Amino acid sequence: MKVEEFADIAFAAKSMPSFGYGCAVFMQSDIVNFQRQGWRSEEILAGLADVLPKNVFLYVASIPNLAALGTRFVLQGGTQNNLAVVKAEVDFIKSSFRANGKEPEIIVHEHCGESGAIGAAQEALRLWRNGRETTVIGLEAVANIRYHTTRNEDTRCYFCKNNCLRTFIDVDVTGGQSPEHNHTLDAADRVATEEEIAEVVSNLPSLEQIHANLPPLESQGSCSTGVGHSSPSIFKAKVEPLVQIQLAPGSNKVVELPKPAEFQARKTKVPLRMGEQRLIIATCEKGTVEDLDEMKDIKADIDKVKVVNPNYVDIAARDVFRHHDVEVVSDAIPATRGLFISKATKERASQMERRRDFRVGIPRLLNTYTYAPFFNGYFASLGLKSENIIYSDYTTPELYRAGASRGAIDPCYPSKIGIAHVYNLLATKHVKKPLHAIWFPMYDVLHSHLVNLTGSNACPTVTATPETVKAAFTKESDIFSENNILYMDPILNLQDEKICADQMFKAWGPVLGVTREENERAIAVGFKSLHECEAEIRRQARETLDQLEREDRIGIVMLGRVYHHDPGLNHEIMEEFQKLGYPVFSQSTLPLDEDLLDRLFGEEVRAGLITHPLDISDVWKNRYSTSTNHKVWAAKFTARHPNLVALEVSSFKCGHDAPIYGVIEGIIEQSGTPYFSFKDLDENKPTGSIRIRVETIDYFLQRYREDIIKRRHIESNIETQLAVFEQTLRSQPRERYEMAVAGY
């Protein structure tokens, strides 16, 4: 079938199968299934056309409510030549307007195949008018580009442990006219054909014939290289490359052999010809060069940009796990020698002795990204050594793959990695040096900085994950007891310190010989560590925010959940933005200083719309889920701050994010703040598409910033002019001043 016939065939269908939108790979298997079920080709084509707008608007662009965009739609791109697709798009767009009763205007661009290029040309023109110069080499030169690609073991990058395979594209922009390729031949000469070379080679004289024909020793000779020599010995002839051969003995007709390739002097496993330029397609910037020193320069440049544009998502992800010196509040170990020492005292003494070498493993996931400072403080204050409080590694595809096979259920990705993290503790940390316990509490109630909430609960999936993980490691045999490891997953309320103290005491009292009083002191140290860690990152974030305001720059707020700080969950998207010069904040790191909150929310508080700057009751009624509440409040903060834009992230199969997509988008867009999203993130890291989207967003933000600066400039001009005008009026007699103010 020709693609031009698609629409005609699809329109012949009387019914069609319903494709699920999403990844094209799944669609391919859907096609096979539908064929097996007996659907005819025209029906399958109709179904494919029908799903396309869903894929574009819901899957790729994530815009469930098209009516929110306006009423005028232009369909562009070569796909619009397929009328079956156009019909599906028109039906889809119209269906979005059913609720509001409006009729959208839908136009197919009259040059839909070229409209993208027209748009690019218009943008180039705009930039040129703004003083930018083009680097385009011109269409004629483009037609002359010659290139060849190499992707094999010789192109592998060894600058980090990822050892990525790269693609080298060696480009000759001269169209074969570079000095290397450009040796012109005399009219009589030409490059020999393969047959001619073969014929000449087969007729080459034998060594005896050569000897017989050699000139006397004292005479001058010449060889086919054209280089004369007067060697006293025939065995000392100079070796030169053969560049031409006579077609027959005695003939003066010669043919040229292809010139041996000349290569550039550079350190590489893939030699680069003279006149060519190498482009390297790599996973990261460092991999775009081959030379170690060049890579170091690139890294140094990136590091410089990173220092002035902090990424608080990444900083928070590292800082919470850092150990700090805390006050040790444990009791002295009771004496066990002497008379009248009770059994309980002896037992406690031995449990306390254990603390010195007790090794506890903690999976690095979920709300541990908030509560690690609390656990670090608690354990260290009881006398555990910091090197014995061991977290699993950060999430990576390798970590996930190594341990994921035990899972029996398929929850959201942040929960699914639970098994892999516990496996990492068992298979890596425990093997290195034995662990005594794995601490994976069931987070139930969480602390929050917000007010006027209806609850402060963790997502039920978060709460239940430690139990599902436990099941995975005990369903056939108890892997924990086989390894002499205590698996501890008590429920925790981290909002109420007293309840928390009781829960921690019940968990750790019998293991480490902790008394209630000792436990309370350790709880206090834990919460102090937690609050200090949170305050410090917010203090730093405030400095960066102030700097953005001073410099009229843009920062990005990641609207996610605290475990989206995990680089393995956020796929390091934030780092890509940081490298482009955007500081990145998150829902948990935004500053809470009173003056700032008053500037952003003060008017609404005074108008009685909210009770407090940290109140979200105006936008979100079901305020019981802590991480959802924090995300909603961060959206409000971002919407009100002129230097911030929103970047929403969510995980695949998250049941809590779907209901608030519209709320978050609504809050942000109501203020005219740019909103972007990376939704349904899972174990697959689509590096290429992430890069493209990041670059597109960056381009948009550059224009957004230009507009902000222009607007501020205009506003400040108007204010200056008004001030001058007011001054002029005030200097005039009162009557005229009053008339002018009254508008006469």
391 binds ligand SF4 (CB under 6 A): no
Enclosing H/E stretch for 636: helix 626-640
Burial class (CB in 10 A: 0-12, 13-18, 19+), 639: buried
Site for ligand SF4 in 405-464 (CB under 6 A): 412, 414-415, 459, 461-462
What is the DSSP code string of 694-732? HHHHHHHHHHHHHHHHHHHHHHHHHHHHHHHHHHHHHTS
Enclosing H/E stretch for 118: helix 115-129
Tokens 């119209």 map to which residue?
94
User: 287 or 583: whose CB is closer to ligand SF4?
Assistant: 287
User: 644 or 663: whose CB is closer to ligand SF4?
Assistant: 663
User: 90 or 442: whose CB is closer to ligand SF4?
Assistant: 442
Site for ligand SF4 in 199-258 (CB under 6 A): none
Instruction: Count CA atoms closer than 13 A to 342's CA, side-chain side.
Output: 4
Site for ligand SF4 in 364-383 (CB under 6 A): none
**Options 87-95, 157-165, 307-315, 600-608: segment touching ligand SF4 (CB under 6 A):** 157-165
User: 162 or 481: whose CB is closer to ligand SF4?
Assistant: 162
Residues listed for the chain: 744
User: 259 or 304: whose CB is closer to ligand SF4?
Assistant: 304
Q: How many CB atoms lie within 10 A of CB 596?
A: 17
* CB 263, min distance to ligand SF4, A: 24
Pairing of strands 360-362, 437-439: parallel
For residue 460, give Cα distances in angstroms to 59, 167, 421, 443, 457: 26, 45, 19, 9, 8
* CB 451, min distance to ligand SF4, A: 22
Binder of ligand SF4 out of 6, 39, 159, 508 (CB under 6 A): 159
* CB 529, min distance to ligand SF4, A: 25
User: 112 or 459: whose CB is closer to ligand SF4?
Assistant: 459
* CB 95, min distance to ligand SF4, A: 28
Site for ligand SF4 in 664-683 (CB under 6 A): none
What is the DSSP code string of 28-57? HHHHHHHHHTT--HHHHHHHHHHHHHIIII
Write down the H helix ranges in 178-258: 194-202, 207-213
Binder of ligand SF4 out of 60, 137, 160, 431 (CB under 6 A): 160
Contact (Cβ atoms closer than 8 angstroms) between residue 169 and residue 149: yes
Task: Write the interaction track for ligand SF4 spanning residues 263-292; mark x where CB under 6 A is met and - where it is not.
Answer: -------------------xxx-xx-----
* CB 308, min distance to ligand SF4, A: 22
* CB 264, min distance to ligand SF4, A: 22
User: 144 or 268: whose CB is closer to ligand SF4?
Assistant: 268
Contact (Cβ atoms closer than 8 angstroms) between residue 701 and residue 554: yes
Contact (Cβ atoms closer than 8 angstroms) between residue 323 and residue 374: no
**Options 159-167, 357-365, 466-474, 590-598: segment touching ligand SF4 (CB under 6 A):** 159-167
**Options 135-143, 306-314, 525-533, 651-659: segment touching ligand SF4 (CB under 6 A):** 651-659
User: 128 or 624: whose CB is closer to ligand SF4?
Assistant: 624
Instruction: Please report, in angstroms and rounded to a whole number, the separation of the first and last CA atoms in the chain.
Output: 76
Enclosing H/E stretch for 221: strand 221-222
For the stretch 34-41, contacts whose Cβ atoms lie closer than 8 Å and that sit 24 or more positions apart, written own/partner, are 40/13, 41/1, 41/9
300 binds ligand SF4 (CB under 6 A): no
User: 421 or 656: whose CB is closer to ligand SF4?
Assistant: 656
Name the nearest CA neighbour of 665 among 698, 619, 626: 619
163 binds ligand SF4 (CB under 6 A): yes
Tokens encoding 659: 């209901």
Binder of ligand SF4 out of 655, 659, 686, 688 (CB under 6 A): 655
Sign of the C-alpha dihedral computed for residues 56, 58, 63 and 66 taken in this order: positive
Contact (Cβ atoms closer than 8 angstroms) between residue 494 and residue 500: yes
Tell me the site size for ligand SF4, rule CB under 6 A. Answer: 24
Task: Write the interaction track for ligand SF4 spanning residues 608-647; mark x where CB under 6 A is met and - where it is not.
Answer: -------------------x--------------------
Task: Write the interaction track for ligand SF4 spanning residues 541-570; mark x where CB under 6 A is met and - where it is not.
Answer: --------------------x---------
Q: CA–CA separation, 248 vs 255, rounded Å?
A: 11
**Options 156-164, 466-474, 589-597, 616-624: segment touching ligand SF4 (CB under 6 A):** 156-164
Tokens encoding 43: 């029906």
Burial class (CB in 10 A: 0-12, 13-18, 19+), 644: buried
User: 651 or 677: whose CB is closer to ligand SF4?
Assistant: 651
Strands (E), 455-605: 486-488, 491-493, 555-559, 584-586
**Options 68-76, 222-230, 570-578, 655-663: segment touching ligand SF4 (CB under 6 A):** 655-663
* CB 295, min distance to ligand SF4, A: 7
For ligand SF4, which residue has the nearest CB? 287
Query: What letter would DSSP give residue 561?
Result: -
Residues that bind ligand SF4 in the complex, under the rule CB under 6 A: 157, 159-160, 162-164, 282-284, 286-287, 412, 414-415, 459, 461-462, 561, 627, 651, 654-657
